[in-house]
Amino acid sequence: MTREKIEKKIMASLTPVHLSIIDETWKHAGHFGAVSGKGHFILHAVSQQFEGISLLNRNRLVFDILKEEMGTEIHALTVRAQTPSEWWALEKKRGDMKKEHDADH
């Protein structure tokens, strides 16, 4: 349920063009946070609302949106927050690298 709650809150607050949330709680079985039932998540959000905001403040914005869940349902959260132009540039670079790799083989 926590993953769905995270998704709903981020979608409502940031209206991202891309959002992925990976629940890695299973990797931390026996870890203090996992024992208490709290999750470990990786969140990747691409939103126009990050434009002109430093990486630190982007993370603060995401953590502020999820402040109710932090400490109660979320033990650890890795945030990757990008603007659409940053994301598209990286995706283009990946595509170009794949083309180069495929041409070599």
Task: Output the pLDDT for position 1.
Answer: 63
* CA distance linking residue 94 with residue 102, whole number of Å: 12
- Beta bridge partner(s), residue 40: 76
The more confident residue out of 18 and 99 is 18
pLDDT at res. 93: 74
The domain that holds 53 is classified in CATH as 3.30.300.90
CA 41 to chain centre: 8
Q: Which domain holds residue 88?
A: 2-104
- Helix intervals (H) in 1-105: 2-14, 32-35, 55-65, 84-104
Query: What integer pLDDT is reported at residue 97 of this predicted model?
Result: 55
Whether the full predicted model's pTM is greater than 0.85, yes or no, is no
Q: How many domains does the chain have?
A: 1
